[in-house]
């Protein structure tokens, strides 16, 4: 079993995608990047991801629309919103749609790592609880 976290970064700005990829890539993460919602949804249909780092303001399909699709099709995937336009209303909406966390840009490397780690730990905890509830052995 591969314990590496599979992370998808969705952001229309190349500098942001590359920054998050450099920050997270390593022996504990497999990171892929895309620049749009439709591209992300297509990729997620082909590969599973544990954590998605998602920008809200993108041309075409915005982040809230992408979040809705992800949570409908892949509810076990944890989503962290990272936006340059933080608002209380969008934070509430994101959480109500199932986002794990909501960060403001510029998000430093530690913020990105902590959010991704927290989301991954939450996913693993949720899977363990689900396995226990359904009587499946954890080991």
- When the pLDDT of each residue in the chain is averaged and rounded to a whole number, the result is 89
At 21, the pLDDT band (50, 70, 90 cuts) reads very high
CB-based contacts of 119, cutoff 8 Å, min separation 6: 50, 51, 78, 79, 80, 100, 101
Q: In the structure encoding, which two tokens stand for residue 17, read together? A: 């995608």
pTM value is 0.87
CATH 1.20.990.10 matches 5-133: no
pLDDT digit string, tens, across residues 69-117: 999 999 999 999 999 999 999 999 999 999 999 999 999 999 999 999 9
Q: In the sheet where 78-83 sits, what is the strand order?
A: 29-34, 5-10, 51-54, 78-83, 101-104
Residue-level pLDDT at 130 = 56
Average pLDDT on 38-45 reads: 97
Domain regions of the chain by residue span: 5-133
Give the model's pLDDT for residue 122.
87
Which residue in this structure is represented by tokens 């840009």? 105
């Amino acid at each position: 079993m591969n314990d590496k976290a599979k992370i998808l970064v969705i952001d229309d700005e190349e500098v942001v995608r590359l920054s998050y990829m450099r920050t997270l890539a390593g022996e504990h993460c497999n990171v892929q990047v895309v620049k749009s919602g439709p591209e992300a949804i297509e990729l997620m249909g082909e590969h599973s991801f544990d954590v998605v780092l998602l920008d809200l303001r993108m041309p075409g399909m915005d982040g809230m629309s992408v979040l809705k699709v992800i949570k409908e099709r892949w509810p076990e995937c944890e989503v962290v919103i990272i936006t340059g336009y933080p608002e209380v209303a969008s934070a509430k909406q994101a959480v109500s749609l199932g986002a794990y966390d909501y960060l403001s840009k510029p998000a430093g490397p530690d913020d990105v790592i902590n959010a991704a780690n927290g989301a991954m730990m939450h996913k693993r905890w949720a899977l363990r609880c689900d396995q226990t509830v359904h009587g499946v052995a954890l080991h």
